[in-house]
Chain A
Amino acid sequence: MTIQKNNPFPCDEETSTKAVAVHCKGITKAYGSGSETVNALNGINLEVRTGELTMLVGPSGCGKTTLISIMAGILDQDEGDCVLFGKNFKSMSDLEKTRYRGEQVGFVFQSFNLIPTLTAAENVAVPLLIRRIDRKTAVQKAGETLKNVGLGDRLNALPAQLSGGQQQRVAIARSLVHEPRLIVCDEPTSALDHETGFRIMELLQYAALCADRALVIVTHDPRIFDFADRIAKMDDGRIVDVSDSPQDMGK
């Protein structure tokens, strides 16, 4: 599981300037109704920039998952605006939003969410298949991407035949294969041991991050805070602190 030394992902940090990837303005979100209402987000203002690894951190239940779901366009906020690369989700139909996600967003999940009956390469090919790229091309491109995450020799393995760390690598390859401009990861290391989690973070930082792409990682694991370029600390549905240097987080 060695990562190739020449980075195949077209990132050129020297020449690019950081741009706003996601802009959240006054976002609120409540679940349920009546006495059951849970105010998950209470007015979120946040900018996520390309070329940066932004972490959303905070105690369990503070609204991290809710926030990245809205940023990724899979959940509608109640109030406020969420603008992804200049496009406001509010102004899009469900269909447009779905298509936009398919082009602009990559997902990495805590529990990998690979389709168990597809091989590693086929799983990675899915985002390309969704964009109607023919199967042969898609699987081939998926194979290349898998090589770049150090799984060149496991292309035909089923998820069940892979370790947790390997599965997460497949998932990362899947989030990258169609070269989206935003990658959202919800607790990508929580299901892994510390060492493996660390390697996954290295991979994300190295392979996924590039100048015109933004990476948003939700975590409550302080041991990986060091990987962040920016940390947004949340509590009770609010951003309580945004800091550019993780060392300030007082860990």
Chain B
Amino acid sequence: MRFVAIKMLVGDRAKYLGIVMGLAFASFLITEQLAIFTGLMTRTFGFITDTAIADIWVMDPKVQFVDDIKPMQDMQLYRTRGVDGVEWAVPLYKGLLKAKLENGNYQTVIVIGLDDATLIGSPPVMLKGQAADLRRSEAVIVDTVGAAGKLSKPSPVPGQKRIPLAIGDTLEINDNRASVAGICKVSRTFQSQPVIYTTYSRATTFAPKERKLLSFVLVKAKPGEDVKALASRIKAVTGLAAYTRDEFKELTIRYYMKYTGIPINFGMAVLLGFIVGTAIAGQTFYSFTLENLRHFGTLKAMGTTNKTLLGMIVLQALMVGSIGYGLGVGAATAFGKLVKDTELAFRLPWQLLVITAVAISLICVFAALLSIRKVMKLEPAIVFKT
């Protein structure tokens, strides 16, 4: 009877396509929204990802996420270095400063200051120049998106494309000259400002004079050291917060989840996809069953058991479900490929596919349940009613 079930379903082209499209739309919407959400969440800790060399991040205990800078005194660096099991510990400066461009405009930039001696935490990908060039006087490395965008120069010919900032160009950060020595690529973050890498000492001269300037201490554990245990030890000794890389990512995500509208917005969109999918697909599937009620009745009269009828409806639901899911997820993947090199955050780990599969299954179960109920309660005697 599987054959009959399938033919009943696909024979009615228009309805069949309607149901499949409804489900495809729902699964596309759910997958795409979840993928963008995941992409955005990954962006929140982009800087931590880029600074993968550090096992542990040490910071002021009040810090809530990676862009939440609460400077510490320099002596915290030495205290951290003194903790048992620390291979090395280096300072990191991170701050928002004003840069004056050649044309006199001001632009807020993220300045990252790396340990002068080791340059630990240097950009993950260098496009032009190299990290060691930071040792030259006034040297800074600029991220390529910023260089081509907010830091670019207008073309001398009006109406022409802007000229990206290049090696040798200069800008002023808080009245200090900075000379571009390299172009790098960084992971996109939530902060849309250009990223400028320099040394720790130069960064602190750029920064307004303050008593405390140390943003983070990056720590490497000795080989064989339990990183988690070391983090708690650092915490105990210094009274600071010390997170492993993953803990710090988690802290950051949790902050965004809790204090921004992002999860709600995306949750709403996902829910909307779910509801729209349920409404369209559920409703069309149910009306498909209703239209075929007479035939289900005939089958019942002719000796088809309720169990078989149930199997038929489940099969029909499974079929539209899996085809709709495939189409929707396929479309979402294609969409992801399309927006790969754009501003849009899009990440599609396999877990999201599972979530969408579960959602689509729920929609199908819901649609099928209504139909099943109707068909189970169907009186076979209706077959003689005209």
Is B4 close to A, CB under 8 A? yes
Return the CB mask of B159-176 against A: 1 if under 8 Å, else 0. 000000000000000000
Is B153 close to A, CB under 8 A? no
Q: Is the CB of B305 within 8 A of A115?
A: no
Q: Is the CB of B303 within 8 A of A127?
A: yes
Q: Is the CB of B383 within 8 A of A113?
A: yes
Q: Which residues of B contact A117 (CB under 8 A)?
A: 7-8, 10-12
Closest A residue by C-beta to B303: A102
Checking B295, B305, B379 against A75 with a beta-carbon cut-off of 8 angstroms, the contacting residue is B379
Checking B1, B11, B308, B383 against A74 with a beta-carbon cut-off of 8 angstroms, the contacting residue is B383
Instruction: Give the distance in Å from the alpha carbon of A116 to the alpha carbon of B306 in the complex.
Output: 22
Q: Which residues of A contact B384 (CB under 8 A)?
A: 65, 68-69, 74, 109-110, 186
Instruction: Give the distance in Å from the alpha carbon of A72 to the alpha carbon of B11 in the complex.
Output: 30
Minimum CB–CB distance for B204 against chain A, Å = 77
Checking A116, A130, A186 against B302 with a beta-carbon cut-off of 8 angstroms, the contacting residue is A130
Q: Which residues of B contact A107 (CB under 8 A)?
A: 298, 301-302, 383
Q: Which residues of A contact B294 (CB under 8 A)?
A: 113
Is B82 close to A, CB under 8 A? no
Closest A residue by C-beta to B294: A113
Q: Is the CB of A118 within 8 A of B305?
A: no
Instruction: Give the distance in Å from the alpha carbon of A187 to the alpha carbon of B3 in the complex.
Output: 30
Minimum CB–CB distance for A66 against chain B, Å = 8
Q: Which residues of B contact A187 (CB under 8 A)?
A: 386
Instruction: Give the distance in Å from the alpha carbon of A196 to the alpha carbon of B268 in the complex.
Output: 61
A115-139 residues at the B interface, CB under 8 angstroms: 115-118, 122, 126-127, 129-131, 135
Q: Is the CB of A75 within 8 A of B381?
A: yes
Q: Which residues of B contact A111 (CB under 8 A)?
A: 386
Is A99 close to B, CB under 8 A? yes
Q: Is the CB of B295 within 8 A of A113?
A: yes
Q: Is the CB of B4 within 8 A of A101?
A: no
Q: Is the CB of A98 within 8 A of B7?
A: no
A76-116 residues at the B interface, CB under 8 angstroms: 94-95, 98-103, 105, 107, 109-111, 113, 115-116
Q: Is the CB of A130 within 8 A of B1?
A: yes
Per DSSP, are chain B's interface residues mostly helix, strand or loop, or mixed? Answer: helix
Q: Is the CB of B298 within 8 A of A113?
A: yes
Closest A residue by C-beta to B6: A117
Q: Is the CB of A101 within 8 A of B303?
A: yes
Number of residues from A at the complex interface, CB < 8 A: 33
Q: Is the CB of B301 within 8 A of A130?
A: no
Checking A65, A72, A122 against B301 with a beta-carbon cut-off of 8 angstroms, the contacting residue is A72
Closest A residue by C-beta to B381: A75
Closest A residue by C-beta to B292: A115
Return the CB mask of A10-51 against B: 1 if under 8 Å, else 0. 000000000000000000000000000000000000000000
Q: Which of B8, B298, B379 has the most CB of A within 10 A?
A: B298
Minimum CB–CB distance for B303 against chain A, Å = 2
Is B380 close to A, CB under 8 A? yes
Closest A residue by C-beta to B16: A117
Instruction: Give the distance in Å from the alpha carbon of A127 to the alpha carbon of B300 in the complex.
Output: 11
Instruction: Give the distance in Å from the alpha carbon of A115 to the alpha carbon of B303 in the complex.
Output: 15
Q: Which of B1, B4, B302, B380 has the most CB of A within 10 A?
A: B302
Q: Is the CB of B4 within 8 A of A129?
A: yes
Closest A residue by C-beta to B11: A117
Q: Which residues of A contact B1 (CB under 8 A)?
A: 129-130
Instruction: Give the distance in Å from the alpha carbon of A129 to the alpha carbon of B8 in the complex.
Output: 14
Is B191 close to A, CB under 8 A? no
Is B192 close to A, CB under 8 A? no
Minimum CB–CB distance for B352 against chain A, Å = 36
Q: Is the CB of A130 within 8 A of B12?
A: no
Instruction: Give the distance in Å from the alpha carbon of A110 to the alpha carbon of B298 in the complex.
Output: 13
Is B155 close to A, CB under 8 A? no
Closest B residue by C-beta to A94: B306
Q: Which of B3, B303, B306 has the most CB of A within 10 A?
A: B303
Q: Which residues of A contact B (CB under 8 A)?
A: 65, 68-69, 72, 74-75, 94-95, 98-103, 105, 107, 109-111, 113, 115-118, 122, 126-127, 129-131, 135, 186-187
Q: Which residues of B contact A (CB under 8 A)?
A: 1, 3-4, 7-8, 10-12, 294-295, 298-306, 308, 379-381, 383-386
List 10 A–B pairs whose Cβ atoms lie within 8 Å, in order of A's numbering: A74-B383, A75-B381, A102-B304, A117-B10, A117-B12, A118-B7, A122-B7, A129-B3, A130-B308, A187-B386
- Leading 8 A-B pairs by shortest Cβ distance: A102-B303, A117-B11, A74-B380, A75-B381, A101-B303, A113-B298, A69-B381, A186-B384
